[in-house]
Amino acid sequence: MGEIAPEAIRIDPFFLDSPRGPLFCLYLTPAKREPLGGILYIHPFAEEMHKSRRMAALQSRAFAAAGYAVLQLDLTGCGDSASDFGDAHWEAWQDDVRLAHAWLEKQAIESVALWGLRTGASLAAEIARELTGIDRLILWQPVINGELFLNQFLRIKLASEMLSDGQAQSGTKTLRAQLEAGQGVEVGGYSLAPEMAHVLASWKLADQIPPCPTHWFEIGTGEELAPASQRVVDAWTAAGVHLTTHSAEGEPFWVTQEITECPALLEATLKGLSS
């Protein structure tokens, strides 16, 4: 994908009002024509959001240069939006997406695609069923099983304890018990609220049947999806979802130590949007 001329797109930052405080947004539009449609980006969880900002920015610019209006939203407690991460909960994030979608509709954007990464993709699949005018989903490496994701997130804390003290002071079972008792847990500088942990622990992507055509993208070294992903794809397809899968070669940029790009994913996503 070639360089995008600065004059080809327009980028407008603003704050969107919400009951929990202002939400930071970036609105990208083609500079010289009316948008073909809208795309609402939903970012991933905690540090994964910051690791993936570069990729989200590159893809958003590519979408805008291709003629789409793109709204990037910082969810409550994330990025430059109001509240702390520890105060965030899944229901608030659902409402944030509703507000952002309503704002896009007010811009005379009739058809909207929800584009999400990791937990953002999972949230997109869940909430698409209740929003009007959603014409497709763009899912980047969606989280399949919330309980597994929660345990992986908690292991960040255990790894940090191993590095600092030579041994972990607790295990995932202990941390889960602490959350179930109503006590928050700090993981990698992020305070995880018990309410958020409860939702994640019970969340399964297979239960969220998309109401619209869906493009599923995964990063890997081959053309096949991971087995767990394929099982969800098979279930959705059996339920009548028009689903297209894509595999792009590259590194999992949302968890790499250094900020990483995946050009193959950018190209595959732009191509998929036009198909």
pLDDT at residue number 165: 53
Q: Which residues of the chain have pLDDT under 50?
A: 166-167
For residue 94, give the nearest of 114, 111, 64, 65 by alpha carbon: 114
Per-residue model confidence as pLDDT tens digits over 105-134? 999 888 999 999 999 999 999 999 999 999
Please answer whether residues 78 and 56 qualify as being in contact, where contact means their C-beta atoms are separated by less than 8 angstroms. no
CA distances in angstroms from 136 to 122, 210, 232, listed in the order given: 14, 9, 17
pLDDT at residue number 49: 97
Interhelix angle 194-201/172-180, rounded to 10 degrees, is 110
* Alpha carbon distance 137, 218 (integer Å): 14
Q: Using CB atoms within 10 Å of the CB of residue 206, give its burial: 0 to 12 exposed, 13 to 18 middle, 19+ buried.
A: middle
* Alpha carbon distance 148, 150 (integer Å): 5
DSSP lists the bridge partners of residue 11 as: 28
Beta strands at 23-30 and 69-73: parallel, antiparallel or unpaired: antiparallel
pLDDT at residue number 52: 98
Which tokens is 179 given? 């959350």
**Phi-psi map region of 240: left, alpha, beta (phi>0 left; psi -120 to 50 alpha):** left
Place of tokens 């997109």: 124
Cα 262 → chain centroid: 16
CB under 8 Å to 174, separation ≥6 — which residues?
none
* Alpha carbon distance 59, 270 (integer Å): 8
Q: Where are the beta strands (DSSP E) in the chain?
A: 9-16, 23-30, 38-42, 69-73, 112-117, 134-140, 185-187, 190-192, 214-220, 243-249
Asked if the 6-144+206-273 domain carries CATH number 3.40.50.2300, the reply is: no
Please answer whether residues 173 and 112 qualify as being in contact, where contact means their C-beta atoms are separated by less than 8 angstroms. no
pLDDT at residue number 5: 74
Domain boundaries, the chain: 6-144+206-273, 145-203
Calculate ∠ Cα 13-14-18, nearest 5°.
145
Half-sphere exposure of 128 (CA within 13 A, CB side): 32
Residue type, 82: A
